[in-house]
Structure 1
Amino acid sequence: MSRLIVDRARGIAMAAMLCLVALEAWGEEAPAQQRQCLDASSQPHGSYDLPRLLDMAQCLNPETREAWERTRQAELAVDLVRSSYAPQVSLEALGGFQRTPLPIPTTLLARGYFTADTREFIPSVGVKWLLFDFGRRAGLEATARANHAAAEVAYNGVQQRLVFSVTRAYYDYQSSRDQLRAADEAVTAAQTIQDATDAQRRHGRATVVAEAQAERQTALSRLNQVKANGAVRTAYAALIAAIGLSADTQLSIGGTQGQAMPSLPDEAVDHYVQKALAGRPDVRAAEARVKAAEGEVQSAHAAYRPVVSFSGRYYQNIGALSTDGSPYYSINKPGGAVFLNVELPLFDGGARSAQLSMAHSRVQAAQDQLDQVRDKVAQEVVKAYNDLRTSLEAYAEAQAFSHAARVAYEAALDAYQHGVGTYTDLANDEAVMAQSESALTSANADAQIAWMALALAAGDIRVTP
């Protein structure tokens, strides 16, 4: 008897296991593509140019990793909704002892009751399957898929903003290094002027005041050099932080030698506005949120329709019964039940109406948010477009200013060394030359950043998967 009980229970368990394996195979999908990252922060080697820094940032930056996980969660939410279309299979077992007093006619038993002792062990396999819900799950799936699409484009947006952030930090760092080189040149020029003033003083063609002024200018140039060196360290720390590396990481950052300046935009500003409205991640995410809200409306409408479901159970009744201390009578027989359930809510106190109104309100709110995003995108594109034109024009003027200032300084230095120029003219020309070099380096960085800002505003930044 005990062996028969074990065999029947094992058979039921095996049937349930086969059902579960079949359902898992039915709903299985290829896993989401995982981004392969290399931890470049541990042992960095070589010189890092901008493309290599961008690859490292996309791998290590915590904001991109968080956005990637949110995308995976949205994808799993779609799988969760899809699982509701499959039958739900469960394996259960009920066992125990029960003593039950039961009434009986006194014509059969004088005391009017008898006591039944029952020992039961009932393993079973249950199936529940929602067959028709007239659009509830379809609405939920539409919402989940729209949220997944929004998460994907939001992830792309995070990557684009990261590319811009690292690029801006990179050019700020390059600008600070160029500013430091300009400060070094200013120190060299000031020292040259001081040496020339000392020579003029020895020949009686310069005053003590001019010599002191030359020493003051050299000291001021060295002070500016120290400040420029500090600005380089600050810009480097900002670049490392933008990448996502620890503050003590030491990298050799490559320069921008040979890099061409961006050109003026080929198209009118309307072209870039339309391009941004069609493809920018924040616009596409806002559009997906509208679709997600519309899916909620579909589910809310379906709540007014009936739900048809199927349920079934197959079990093995393994037990024994004893009445008033009699010997136990055993049973070991299979049983089962099949039901078709139809449910139609008639009155819920206004809950479904409130849910539907809330869903319509969310659609309107999502549409309003989309309109706001589109207006903001258009403004950002126009600003970035104008900033790029202005920065390129400023760079051209800064080149002319730098060239003229250097020619004027060299001429003033030559005249001063030959005793036909004044120290005041030479000092002024040296200060203007230093100013022009600083303006040129700043204009170069501003133009590169403005070009990338237009690409970001138009949604035209390409990121590696």
Structure 2
Amino acid sequence: MPLLIPLLAAAIAAPAIPVTHDDPRGLIPVTRPPVSGGQAACGEVPARPLTLPDLVDIALCRNPQTAVAWAGVRGAAAGIGIARSAYLPTIDLAIGPTLNRIDTNGGFGDGSSVNSGANLAVNYLLFDGGGRAARVASATARQRSALAQYADAAQGVVLDTVAAYNGLLANRAVETANIANVAFARQSRDLAAARRNAGVATSADRLQAETSLSQAELQLIQTRGNLETSAAQLAVTIGLPPQARLDLAAPAPLATGQLLQSGADALIADAERLRPDLVAARANVAGAEADVRAQLSAGRPSVGVSASNNLSATDTRFNSNSGNIGLTLSIPIFSGFNQRYSIASARAEAERQAALAEQTRQQAGLSVYTNFVSLRVALASLETARVLIASATESANLAQGRYRAGVGLFADLLNAQSALASARQQLVQSEFNVRNANANLARAIGGIGEAIDAER
């Protein structure tokens, strides 16, 4: 079962956050929550052939997208501290001298004096109609949303890493296929040249064979360029320089379509529970509803207590020491309809967030279903591609044998050779489609981290 929701809940409730000067309440998380239970801690790039899970772990630590999202989490956690500060009193101390100068027409009483004063004031809000509680609830909901957005960004990084890795694997497979195409085309060229030298074939056969070989070699050169580009793309995706050389371990076997066994309905239900964007959308709704309560509280009476003490002196002579304490009841009466429109605005935002949450839920279901169909089609296409490569290989070998024996046309050999090259490309593409479709479906459900753990 995917671990996203428990991990997010643990991240929110974790009490072991160190208290610092900037975080006296210990609210701001320091350690990023893992995307899945098997994620390795951040560290140096392992000095061994890297598996796909290794690449994912490196990307989650080094890709800037996760750093951006994590900064949002920390900022949202600080927002809780700002909201909770309203439950504590405020204390202000004012100290300073004042220079007084008196000049009169008659000169009587003229002079200068220095007045020094110190004022200590304490203010504490006792009751505000639930405004503080609503603002704390809103800030807490925004932290949940930020954590879910971080999880969504992290899963996006995982998918990008998988896509870049699959692209590199596909280009490697294309290179292998093109090497085989070049070897077969060279055999056909040598066979046509030998038959031309023996006087049993025309120069046209040899020229066509040379053309076919050159085309195969050109495709191989282009594929090797694409291979270098895809390797650079993978390096950048995991947060390394594009020129970094990655030593990759052998890839895991192709998926067998295990996700399809649950059925589309069950997978959509899982997505509604597990997708981080849906978690974020529901948290945004809760935050907007709390903002409505906060706006409503602003129109209610509030009660506060204040106390102050003031010391004053003129020059070096102590003059007075006065203090006061008071209880204040504040009743909003009229603010030019500002409060009414503020409440209307907050309610409209709550309605907007609810609509966005429903839109996100619907899009999540569509994403799961379309990726479910894509994986099913990709697996069926792979089976057909495997049959195609077997028949194309046998046909090409037969055509080459017939031409060698002098009972077949070179045009038939070229057609069979071209069909074999096409079948090899289709097999590579089908395998690439299966790998990507499996990752996309896992991402659509919200459990791509667990799909990566299955390969550890």
Give the TM-score normalised by the residue count of structure 1: 0.84
Q: CA shift at 1:457, angstroms?
A: 0.8
Asked if the contact 2:98–2:115 (Cα under 8 Å) also holds between the matched residues in 1, the reply is yes
2:377 pairs with 1:390: yes
Displacement of 1:319 in angstroms is: 3.6
Q: 172, 175, 200: which one pairs with 2:170?
A: 175
Q: Kindly tell me: are residues 88 and 293 of structure 1, through their superposed partners in 2, closer, same or farther at Cα, counting changes over 3 Å? A: same
Q: Deviations over 1:335-367 (max 9, x none)?
A: 322121111111111011001111111111111
1:230 Cα deviation from its structure 2 partner:
1.9
In structure 2, the partner of 1:55 is: 57
Q: Which residue of 1 aligns with 2:18?
A: none
8 Å CA contact retained: 1:39, 1:60: no
Cα distance, 1:100 vs. partner?
A: 6.2
Maintained 8 Å contact 1:27/1:83 = no
Cα distance in 1, alignment partners of residues 236 and 23 from structure 2: 46
Q: Indicate the larger mover: 24-33 or 259-268.
A: 24-33
1:429 matches 2:426: no
Letter in 2 for 1:263: G
Per-residue deviation at 1:114?
6.4
Q: Of 338, 351, 357, which aligns to 1:351?
A: 338
User: Residue 437 of structure 2 is aligned with which of 450, 454, 457?
Assistant: 450
**Could you say which residue in structure 1 is the equivalent of 2:399?**
412
Partner of 1:122: 117
Kindly indicate whether the alpha-carbon contact (under 8 Å) linking 2:170 and 2:432 is maintained by their aligned counterparts in 1: yes
Shift of 1:438: 1.0
**CA contact under 8 A between 1:395 and 1:447: conserved in structure 2?**
yes
% of aligned pairs identical?
26
Asked whether 1:229 is paired with 2:224, we answer yes
How far has the Cα of 1:450 moved from its partner?
0.1
Structure 1 residue 28 and structure 2 residue 15: aligned? no
Query: How many angstroms apart in 2 are the aligned matches of 1:254 and 1:402?
Result: 26
For the residue of structure 2 that corresponds to 1:230, the secondary structure is helix
Using the TM superposition, give the Cα deviation of residue 118 of structure 1 relative to its aligned residue in structure 2, in angstroms: 5.1
Deviations 1:362-394 (A, max 9, x none): 111111111111121111111100000000000
TM-score by length of 2: 0.86
Inter-partner Cα distance in structure 2 for 1:368 and 1:101: 71
Q: 2:156 aligned to 161, 167, 171, which one?
A: 161
- Superposed, 1:285-364 pairs within 5 Å as 285-319=280-314, 330-331=317-318, 334-364=321-351
Q: Structure 1 residues 454-463 or 396-405, which shifts more?
A: 454-463
Contact 1:262 1:448 in 2 (8 A): no
- The 3 A distance-change label for structure 1 pair 386 and 26 is closer
2:431 and 2:414 map into 1 onto residues whose CA distance is: 26
What amino acid is the match of 2:366? Q
Q: Is the alpha carbon distance of 1:137 and 1:159 closer, same or farther for their aligned partners in structure 2, counting shifts above 3 Å? A: same
The structure 2 residue matched to 1:375, chosen from 362, 366, 374, is 362
2:240 equivalent to 1:245: yes
The answer to whether the aligner puts 1:197 opposite 2:199 as a matched pair is no
Tell me how far 1:101 sits from its aligned partner: 8.9
2:257 paired residue number = 263
Structure 1: how far apart are the matches of 2:198 and 2:22? Answer: 98
Q: Shift of residue 37 of structure 1?
A: 4.2
1:263, CA displacement in angstroms?
Answer: 1.8
1:54-133 matched pairs, under 5 angstroms: 54-99=56-101, 119-133=114-128
- What amino acid sits opposite 2:63 in the alignment? N
Residue 108 (structure 1) aligns with: none
Classify the secondary structure of the residue corresponding to 1:462: helix
Work out whether residues 262 and 451 of structure 1, in 8 Å CA contact, stay in contact via their aligned partners in 2: no
Query: Which digits, 9 at most, give the CA deviation of each residue in 1:318-339, with x for residues without a partner?
Result: 445xxxxxxx8x3366432212
Alignment-mate amino acid for residue 123 of structure 1: A
Secondary structure of the residue aligned to 1:310 is strand
Map of 1:152 onto structure 2: 147
Query: Which stretch shifts more, 150-159 or 134-143?
Result: 134-143
Deviation at 1:260, TM superposition (A): 3.6
CA distance in 2, matches of 1:349, 1:393: 68
Instruction: Indicate if the aligned counterparts of 2:28 and 2:77 stay in contact, CA closer than 8 A.
Output: no
The answer to whether the 8 Å contact 1:174/1:255 transfers is no
Q: Hey, what's the Cα distance between the residues in 1 that align with 2:199 and 2:139?
A: 88
Give distance in 2, aligned partners of 1:99 and 1:217: 104
What is the alpha-carbon distance in structure 2 between the residues aligned to residue 239 and residue 64 of structure 1?
16
Match of 1:213 among 208, 214, 219: 208
SS at 1:349's partner residue? coil
Q: Is the 8 Å Cα contact of residues 240 and 247 (structure 1) preserved in structure 2?
A: yes
Please give the alpha-carbon distance, in whole angstroms, between the structure 2 residues aligned to 1:177 and 1:339. Answer: 79
- What is the rounded CA distance, in whole Å, between the counterparts of 1:39 and 1:83 in structure 2? 40
The verdict on how the C-alpha distance between 1:355 and 1:52 changes in structure 2, with shifts beyond 3 A counting, is same
Deviations along 1:413-444, whole A, 9 cap, x unmatched? Answer: 23333333332222222211111111111100
CA contact (8 A) 1:45 1:251 kept: no
298-307 vs 447-456, which moves further: 298-307
In 2: Cα distance, 1:26 partner to 1:286 partner: 27
Q: Provide the C-alpha distance between the structure 2 equivalents of 1:275 and 1:263, rounded to a whole number of angstroms.
A: 17
What number of residue pairs does the alignment pair up?
421
In 2, the alpha carbon distance for the partners of 1:219 and 1:120 equals: 98
Bigger CA drift: 183-192 or 301-310?
A: 301-310
Aligned-partner Cα distance in 2 for 1:39–1:31: 26
Structure 1 residues 432 and 218, CA, compared in 2 at 3 Å: closer, same or farther?
same
Give the CA deviation at 1:221: 0.8
Aligned residue type for 2:274: G
Residue matched to 1:461 = 448
Distance 2:224 2:410 in 1: 28
- Runs of 5+ consecutive residues of structure 1 not aligned to the other structure: 1-23, 103-110, 321-327
